[in-house]
Structure 1
Amino acid sequence: MQSNLRKKLIQLFTEADGEFISGQKISEELGCSRTAVWKHIEDLRKSGYELEAVRKLGYKMKKKPDKISENEIRLGLKTKKMGQTIYFQDAVPSTQKIAHELANNGAEEGTIIVADKQTEGRGRMARAWHSPEGNGIWMSIILRPEIPVQKTPQLTLLAAVAIVQAIEEQTGKSAEIKWPNDILIGGKKTVGILTELQAEADQVHSVIVGTGINVNQLKGDFPDELKETATSLRMASGKKVDRAALIQTILLTFEKRYSDYIAHGFQPIKLLWESYALTLHRDLTARTLNGTFYGKALGIDDEGVLLLETSDGIQKIYSADIEISPS
């Protein structure tokens, strides 16, 4: 099947939203014969699409394959800016690396880089991030906010809020945020966020928000060292999750929160973040480059910095590994 006809046919079924489309209408829309329509339908079935045919009613799409591709992300995407430019590849070393190159070459705000697999996925402090094919979402978003350099860490917290909201909408599962960049379900890590900056001393050129989401892994898919600390949306919800649909929901939610942020500042994001925060009012250990601090998390300040009440007073934590004490 020619790729443009395939794309148009998938779009017809997506817009039909589970309703039947007559063979005649498909024939007219694609500009081909009814026999050709049947062949195109069979090609889609071979690609993993579940399609129902009923005499006199036509065809309807019952289920899409769990694939990520530019077409799958684009069809049904409801954003105005986020994800309107998509770079997709089956496998890359790191979506962050590609995003940096694209940002340097003038890629517009909202450009996303998505891969089905990363061979050099990484988290904070250059730690490796397990990014196998077929099960996760490995994505980077290029932003160009006109904000002071010191405010850019707020975008990590904004991304966490948007992803938590998208997960809840798509799966019905509640998730919690562990400052600064982890999302947990049932106390186990499900999402990591890595925010990187391209800037001069007083000017932000771009902010690249990378996210790794464990979507459809089962316990056996994780390396031994992660089996007790990591989980996936499938393990948490008991059902497979449509990764392309989740990306669409994340992009739409992110766009809404980002618009709020640009229009009204950090305060609305701060309030939402604290409502999802796992660390709030908990005793914890914060390991920083300047030492280890123990105390109770009071919340975050207006810059997004963690406020830790220690025996020596309130300590501002800008970056740290956080360990929460058992409650």
Structure 2
Amino acid sequence: MPTAPCQHPGATRLSAIERSDGIGRIVIEADRLDSTNRRLVELGRAGAGHGTILIARDQTAGRGKGERGWFSAPDGSLCLSVLVRTGRGLREAAQLPLLAAVALREAILAETGVAAGVKWPNDLLAGGRKICGILAEAACDGDGDLDFVVIGMGINLAIPEAGFPENLRQGAVSLATLSGRPVDRDGLVASLAMLLDGWVKRWEGQGLPAFAEAWTAHALHLGHVVRLTDGDEDICATLIGLAADGALRICDAAGTVRDVHSGEIQSGETGLFPPVAPIPSQLPKTRIGAFS
């Protein structure tokens, strides 16, 4: 495995926060990258090991849900990706964005005191405003079997209110604004690495039940009626919780319980929540594919 798996100028090892094993064993920071996910997939193809973390101080082409871009600001955002090699299969690996949300929520609470809610499948919100988005991508081998997963996280660390684009100001907020104090970036990364490592190990042994209770305890909109677009169908339904594969389980107006693997969801009260990204029920065996 490369000891310094990044060819970009200014890339360094953050040895002070690296762990002895597991997630965070290697932590690399680059001054400027197009996408931490894209670059870490390349490093994974080159042999980077389980638990490698790649951080960009500035990310120029970060991606959000679907084809949307992800806004970030130099030193105001925490843009990082984590490489996970797992013995579980491709379909089960689609649960990793849910697991990552649980770990990141705990790390943010520990480091900043901000208590976030988890929005299926891959967002953290506080006071109805987004503080983090998660994008996981699978890399498969030549036979279409899972090789590794890269989990990308974009966290609004210290972007001032006026620093967001005008169209995002009502829907996004930074941890520094919420906590009223500066956020220790390295402390947050170290806490996330430790917590994510523990959750991944439990998930390896138990699957989704390992973290489903923790996810549900902090999930937003459970028991509430929302407007949901599932394909071409526009429905109102009550959110029940997670299905066995990480899909969203709902009860529609006719009383039918069903699982939703993709769609757009909005709060029934305000209609202002951003849409939920798709999680396919059967992940395609491609060389690289987005989970969320």
Q: What is the one-letter code of the residue matched to 2:174?
A: S
1:242 aligns with 2:184: yes
Equivalent position of 1:185 in the other structure: 126
1:152 aligns with 2:93: yes
Shift of residue 289, structure 1, vs aligned partner:
3.6
1:322 aligns with 2:265: yes
Distance, in Å, in 1 between the alignment partners of 2:148 and 2:245 is 19
Residue range with higher mean Cα deviation, 191-200 or 159-168: 191-200
1:254 aligns with 2:196: yes
Give 1 or 2 for the bigger CA radius of gyration: 1
Kindly indicate whether the alpha-carbon contact (under 8 Å) linking 1:121 and 1:129 is maintained by their aligned counterparts in 2: yes
User: Secondary structure at the residue paired with 1:168?
Assistant: helix
Kindly indicate whether the alpha-carbon contact (under 8 Å) linking 2:17 and 2:186 is maintained by their aligned counterparts in 1: no
Kindly indicate whether the alpha-carbon contact (under 8 Å) linking 2:107 and 2:188 is maintained by their aligned counterparts in 1: yes
The aligned runs of 1:50-129 (5 Å cut-off) are 70=12, 73-78=14-19, 80-129=21-70
Q: Which fold has the larger relative contact order, with Cα–Cα distance below 8 Å and residues 6 or more apart in sequence? A: 2
Kindly indicate whether the alpha-carbon contact (under 8 Å) linking 2:24 and 2:52 is maintained by their aligned counterparts in 1: yes
Find the partner of 2:214 among 266, 272, 275: 272
Give the root-mean-square deviation of aligned CA atoms: 1.9
1:227 aligns with 2:169: yes
% identity of equivalent residues: 29
1:38-76 per-position Cα deviation (integer Å, ceiling 9, x unaligned): xxxxxxxxxxxxxxxxxxxxxxxxxxxxxx9845x4314
User: Secondary structure at the residue paired with 1:80?
Assistant: coil
What is the number of residues matched between the two proteins?
259
Q: What is the one-letter code of the residue matched to 1:172?
A: G
User: Secondary structure at the residue paired with 1:207?
Assistant: strand
What TM-score results when the alignment is normalised by the length of structure 2?
A: 0.84
Kindly indicate whether the alpha-carbon contact (under 8 Å) linking 1:148 and 1:202 is maintained by their aligned counterparts in 2: no
Distance, in Å, in 2 between the alignment partners of 1:321 and 1:74 is 41
User: Secondary structure at the residue paired with 1:193?
Assistant: strand
Distance, in Å, in 2 between the alignment partners of 1:183 and 1:82 is 21
Equivalent position of 1:40 in the other structure: none
Kindly indicate whether the alpha-carbon contact (under 8 Å) linking 2:248 and 2:259 is maintained by their aligned counterparts in 1: yes
Equivalent position of 1:301 in the other structure: 243
Shift of residue 264, structure 1, vs aligned partner:
2.3
Distance, in Å, in 2 between the alignment partners of 1:170 and 1:288 is 37
Q: What is the one-letter code of the residue matched to 2:189?
A: I
Q: What is the one-letter code of the residue matched to 2:208?
A: F
Higher helix share: 1
1:212-255 per-position Cα deviation (integer Å, ceiling 9, x unaligned): 00011110110001011100101111111011111111111100
Q: What is the one-letter code of the residue matched to 1:165?
A: E
What TM-score results when the alignment is normalised by the length of structure 1?
A: 0.75
User: Secondary structure at the residue paired with 1:126?
Assistant: coil
Distance, in Å, in 1 between the alignment partners of 2:17 and 2:79 is 20
Residue range with higher mean Cα deviation, 221-230 or 255-264: 255-264
Find the partner of 2:139 among 175, 192, 198: 198
Distance, in Å, in 1 between the alignment partners of 2:106 and 2:11 is 23
User: Secondary structure at the residue paired with 1:315?
Assistant: strand
Q: What is the one-letter code of the residue matched to 1:324?
A: S
Distance, in Å, in 1 between the alignment partners of 2:100 and 2:71 is 20
Shift of residue 306, structure 1, vs aligned partner:
0.5
